[in-house]
Structure formats: structure tokens, C-alpha cells
A and B are shown apart, each in its own frame.
Chain A
Amino acid sequence: MLFICSDPRAPEYVAAEDNIEEWVAEMEARGVALHGDRLRPVEDATTVTVRGGEVLVSDGPFAETKEWIAGYDVIKCADLDEAIEVASKHPMARFGKIEIRPLWPLSL
């Protein structure tokens, strides 16, 4: 799973250099990209916590930071090096950050 994150210290976003469609086309052609999308902004986020049996619902993302998760991609790679290569080609690697997180196979 790639978490596409913002980064206030990264170079400013330039729509003209956002070649996300090329990235998706390449990764789909390689059979790497399975599914992905943009997320609604953090203002629309809701956080759910259960503590002591009580459900707490709060407004906003789980952490109050200047960074947020802007989107996600589910990819299928042979190993971490391939995932790094795929992530480094994503335009948001330049305008933000990408966190690679392996999925825990839960077989549900």
C-alpha cells in the first residue's frame, strides 16, 4: 500500500508536472497497480476511537499535523526494491512523500 502524503517542505505542487496518468498507465501495463484514488481533504475526515467500551467520534484526521494522507495506491510488487522504484516514479514523491506499507495478510 502506498500512502500518498503531503509535505509542507516539498517543492510547490505544479499541476503541469503532475504526470499521474502516465504513472497509472505504466503501472497498470506492468500489472503493478491494482487500485488507487485521491482522498477527500482532511476537513472531511472523521476519526473513530473506542476506549473503555465507549465509542469516541471526532472531527478531523487522527493526528493534528501539517502533513496528511492525500491518496493511496494498492500495488503488487515482487519485493521492496520494486515498490521503491514504483513509488519514486509517482509525481507526489516530488511534491510530497510516499510511505510504503506492506499489507498484513489476514486471510479474512
Chain B
Amino acid sequence: MAAQPVAGSPAADTADQAGHDPPPASAAVRAAVEAASAVETARITATLIRVTGDWSLAEDCVQDAFARALADWPARGVPRNPGAWLTTVAKNSAIDRLRKAAGERKALHELRILAELEGAAGEAGSDPAADDDRLRLIYTCCHPALPLDARVALTLRTVAGLTTGEIARAFLVSEAAMSKRLVRARTKIRDAGIPYRVPPPELISERTAGILAVLYLLFNEGYSATGGGSLIREPLVREAIRLTRLLISLLDGSPQEPEALALLALMLFHHARHAARMDAAGDLVTLEDQDRALWDQAAIAEAVALLADADRSGTSRGARPGSYRVQAHIAACHMNAGSPDSTDFARIAVLYGVLAQIAPSPVVELNRAVAVAMSQGPEAGLVLIDQLDRTRALEGYYLLPAAKADILRRLGRKAEAGLAYQRARDLAPTEAERRYLSKRLAETGPGPADRAMDIAGKLGETRLWPIEVRRIDP
């Protein structure tokens, strides 16, 4: 393998830092690199961190590997096993960087790492310790000594492989601010001595609550993307589900087990609808309009069983339902209804009331308002939404004006509904959502205004941030 370019500058997220001009990559190659990035970044980074103990070095080398892929794949074709190819290139890049540093300093520590890297370079991509490495990485990224916003950002960056730009958009901060936050977090891991490991059994329980929150944010980021043209980013969703399963297998019998089981149930309930959530044109289809025959029955059955397990496990330890168990029961109400209008909205409204006590948040209040509108009538819902609107707690959040528009339309107040749809469309984060709202806006003109289930269609698709991500200051 040829020597890897050793860039002097810290790795950027764009992969054109390789020190030479890569041939222009075709759209297909770019797509292949992006797909590999979503799936492989965490695994390769985790392995390199374990071996080298150096986060920056590991991330720079993974960046080198993707830059090399963008340069090589257009000419030589996408390798049969992109993960193994990238792992080999990243390891070789680490070897080159360390050899250079060791040549200057003759550091024995680095020479030892070199030997380990060179020994491992042969069986790239088939490392049985990879899952353990990733769990270690999650617990390190989610260490309580890091600020919460940094934990989420670091997990999205290092475990899920999002770019700094994507994370910055998810947090509504500038890319420079997010980049600074990530650098600070990595520096603190090194300088404060945050260990790179799965914590010992006595710490697992308290450390896990924070991880569940981060995994749910990760799922939400994929399930309802905060940027770009596409509504769903499948690899992130699969990654979140996979990591949650991994976590559950580790938590066997721990006090956090019911909540972890419930979180997985919640993810599966949401994800079971994925084939029905977009039409052929890539437009959003709300819960009400979805073809229920397209729902993944195997996933729903698994989620129902998981939720029953969570209830059993919670009851046997006398634990009151936490936020994920309540949310999973809400999702179950939607999934178990044979048709939209047989949905038990009265029960959903009650469950949101319970959730508001466990985890108060304006987004929960918004969902409760919609459930109240569905079960007690639009006027009752509108009162709650207007109250919420006046607090300005959800300023900039498009689902508030969207829900309000639907309620106003049901009340026949078309002009006001049109204004609210416009406000919602201007705030919507993805193209698919903007198209959906434009369609609704066009329909708000003269004509029947009694699509009573429209707002309920949005209910159950709404992301419920367990943490107020939008409130975090740069």
C-alpha cells in the first residue's frame, strides 16, 4: 500500500484534504463513500482509538481513509468489501503517522502501538472485538463529566459518523461553534482522564440513562432528519436500533433494563412504518394516510413483545414507568388501531399527561394538545396550543404552526389556517416536509375543510426530544 498523505492540518469533514487533487468522483462513488461512512466510521474509529488511545489521531486516520476512497474508487471501482478496505487504509495511515512521530521521538509507547497495528492490519474488517469497541466508545462519548450537548454531539460524530455540519444544523448552531465543542470534548476526554471502557457493573445503571437519551436522539436524527432533502436517513436509524440492541444485551437484569427495552420497542414501532411514510415522489405521508398493509408486522410484533417485557421487568422491580415506557405505550396505541379513526385518542391524551409529569417539555405539551383536539374537539385543542404559542417556548419549531393550521382548518377558519401553514412551511427543516405543507396550503383554499384526521396523522410522527436540544446554547 502506498504511503498515506500526512496532512498537517486537522482533518476536515469534507474528504478532499488528501493533499492531492482527486479525480472527480461520480455520483455513484460519492453515494458509496457516504453509505460506507454512515456504517463504518464508528467501527473503524473505535478500533483505532482502542489501539492508539488517541482520539484525534484515530479520527484523522479515518478521515484519510475516506479521502483516499474518494480519490481511488472512481478509477479502480468500489471495493467488494468497503469496510475492510477502509479499515486497512485507516490502519496504514495510523502506522505512517506513528512511525513518523516515533522516528522523531523514539517513543516506546508508540512503537508498541505500531506493533499492534501492524499485527492487526492483516485481518481488517473481521475484528470480533469491534462491537465491544463500539460500546466502549458509546460509554466514553456519554461520560457524565462531559456536558450533555457535547455527549450528544460526540456520539453523533464519532459513533454515528455524522459530519460536523450535520450536527451543527441539528443543534441550530454554526459549524464553527460545533467544531469547537467537539474539540473541547475530545480534549477533556484526554486531559481529565475519562476512561475508554465500558464501566464496571456498579456504574452501569447510572451511566446508561444518559446513553439511552443519546441513542434516542440518534434515532430521531435518522428518523426525521433535521436537514437535507431526504426525510429519512436509514443508516442512522439502523445504527440506533443496532446499538440499542447491543446495549440491552449488556444490561441483562440491570435496573435500566425496562427503559432500554421500552426504548427499543419505541424505535421499532416508529420504524415499522418506514415503508409507508413516503410516497413514490418522496413526499411525506402522515399516519392517517399511510397504507397500513405496508407496516412491518414483524417489527410491530417484536415491539409489542419488548414492551410487555419492559412492563414485566419494571413491575417485578417495582419501578414506575419512565419516559420511554410511556412513549412506547403511546406508539402502541397508534400501531394497534386497525384504522385511524379507531385510535384511542382519549388514552393517548392521558398518556401524554403522564409523560408531561415525568419529562415536562413544550413538545410533549404540543402533542397532548393535539390528542385533546382529537378526543375532546378542536376548540379544546386550540386553547392549549394558543397557550403554548404564547409562552414562545417552541418558537421556530414548525410542528406548532402546522398543528394549529390543521385545527383552524377543521374549525373552518381558512384564512388563519393558511397563514399558519405558511409559517410552518417556512420553518420546516426538510424538502419533503416543505412539499407536504405546500400541498396542504394549496388545499386550504375553497373546498371542504373537514379532513378531521390530518393533525392526528402528524401525532405519533412527532419527534419527542427527551432533551431540549434546541435550547442548548452554542
- B285 to chain A minimum Cβ distance, whole angstroms, is 47
Segment 187-208 of B: residues with Cβ below 8 Å from A: 191-195, 199, 203
Contacts of B192 in A (CB 8 A): 80, 100, 102
Segment 160-204 of B: residues with Cβ below 8 Å from A: 191-195, 199, 203
**B203 with A81: CB separation less than 8 A:** yes
Contacts of B193 in A (CB 8 A): 77-80, 83, 102
Contacts of A77 in B (CB 8 A): 193
Task: Kindly state whether residue B143 has any CB partner on chain A within 8 Å.
Answer: yes
Can you list, as one digit per residue, whether each of B327-351 has a CB less than 8 Å from chain A (1) or not (0)? 0000000000000000000000000
- A57 to chain B minimum Cβ distance, whole angstroms, is 32
**B191 with A79: CB separation less than 8 A:** no
- Give A78 to B192 CA distance when docked, in angstroms: 11
- A58 to chain B minimum Cβ distance, whole angstroms, is 31
Q: CB-nearest residue of chain B relative to A104?
A: B191
Q: Which of B143, B191, B199, B203 contacts A102 (CB 8 A)?
A: B191
- Give A78 to B203 CA distance when docked, in angstroms: 16
Contacts of A80 in B (CB 8 A): 143, 145, 192-195
Contacts of B145 in A (CB 8 A): 80, 84
Contacts of A102 in B (CB 8 A): 191-193
- Give A103 to B199 CA distance when docked, in angstroms: 24
Give the total of B residues in contact with A, Cβ under 8 Å. Answer: 9
- Give A52 to B203 CA distance when docked, in angstroms: 49
- Give A102 to B145 CA distance when docked, in angstroms: 13
Q: CB-nearest residue of chain A relative to B190?
A: A102
Contacts of B191 in A (CB 8 A): 102
Q: CB-nearest residue of chain A relative to B196?
A: A79
Contacts of B195 in A (CB 8 A): 78-81
Can you list, as one digit per residue, whether each of A34-76 has a CB less than 8 Å from chain B (1) or not (0)? 0000000000000000000000000000000000000000000
- Give A81 to B193 CA distance when docked, in angstroms: 8
- B448 to chain A minimum Cβ distance, whole angstroms, is 60
Segment 65-86 of B: residues with Cβ below 8 Å from A: none
- Give A81 to B143 CA distance when docked, in angstroms: 9
Contacts of B194 in A (CB 8 A): 79-81
- Give A2 to B246 CA distance when docked, in angstroms: 36
Q: CB-nearest residue of chain A relative to B207?
A: A81
- A92 to chain B minimum Cβ distance, whole angstroms, is 19
Q: CB-nearest residue of chain B relative to A101?
A: B192
Contacts of A79 in B (CB 8 A): 193-195
Q: CB-nearest residue of chain A relative to B189?
A: A80
Q: CB-nearest residue of chain A relative to B194?
A: A80
- A73 to chain B minimum Cβ distance, whole angstroms, is 16
- Give A80 to B192 CA distance when docked, in angstroms: 6
- Give A79 to B193 CA distance when docked, in angstroms: 5
- Give A78 to B196 CA distance when docked, in angstroms: 12
Q: CB-nearest residue of chain B relative to A100?
A: B192
- Give A79 to B199 CA distance when docked, in angstroms: 12
Contacts of A100 in B (CB 8 A): 192
- B74 to chain A minimum Cβ distance, whole angstroms, is 44
- Give A84 to B143 CA distance when docked, in angstroms: 12
- Give A83 to B195 CA distance when docked, in angstroms: 11
Contacts of B203 in A (CB 8 A): 81
- Give A80 to B146 CA distance when docked, in angstroms: 11
- In the complex, which of the residues B145, B191, B193 has the most CB atoms of chain A within 10 Å of its own CB atom? B193
- Give A78 to B194 CA distance when docked, in angstroms: 10
- A34 to chain B minimum Cβ distance, whole angstroms, is 16
- Give A78 to B195 CA distance when docked, in angstroms: 9
- Give A77 to B195 CA distance when docked, in angstroms: 11
Segment 202-255 of B: residues with Cβ below 8 Å from A: 203
- B145 to chain A minimum Cβ distance, whole angstroms, is 6
- In the complex, which of the residues A81, A83, A102 has the most CB atoms of chain B within 10 Å of its own CB atom? A81
- Give A50 to B195 CA distance when docked, in angstroms: 38
- B452 to chain A minimum Cβ distance, whole angstroms, is 51
- Give A102 to B194 CA distance when docked, in angstroms: 11
- B189 to chain A minimum Cβ distance, whole angstroms, is 9
- Give A105 to B248 CA distance when docked, in angstroms: 40
Q: A residues within 8 Å of B by Cβ? A: 77-81, 83-84, 100, 102
Q: What are 22 A-B pairs at a CB distance below 8 A? A: A77-B193, A78-B193, A78-B195, A79-B193, A79-B194, A79-B195, A80-B143, A80-B145, A80-B192, A80-B193, A80-B194, A80-B195, A81-B194, A81-B195, A81-B199, A81-B203, A83-B193, A84-B145, A100-B192, A102-B191, A102-B192, A102-B193
Q: B residues within 8 Å of A by Cβ? A: 143, 145, 191-195, 199, 203
Since A79-B193, A81-B199, A81-B203 are in contact, a sample of 17 more A-B pairs with Cβ atoms closer than 8 Å, ordered by chain A residue number, is A77-B193, A78-B195, A79-B194, A79-B195, A80-B143, A80-B145, A80-B192, A80-B193, A80-B194, A80-B195, A81-B194, A81-B195, A83-B193, A100-B192, A102-B191, A102-B192, A102-B193
Which 4 pairs between the two chains have the least Cβ-Cβ distance?
A: A79-B195, A79-B193, A80-B193, A80-B194
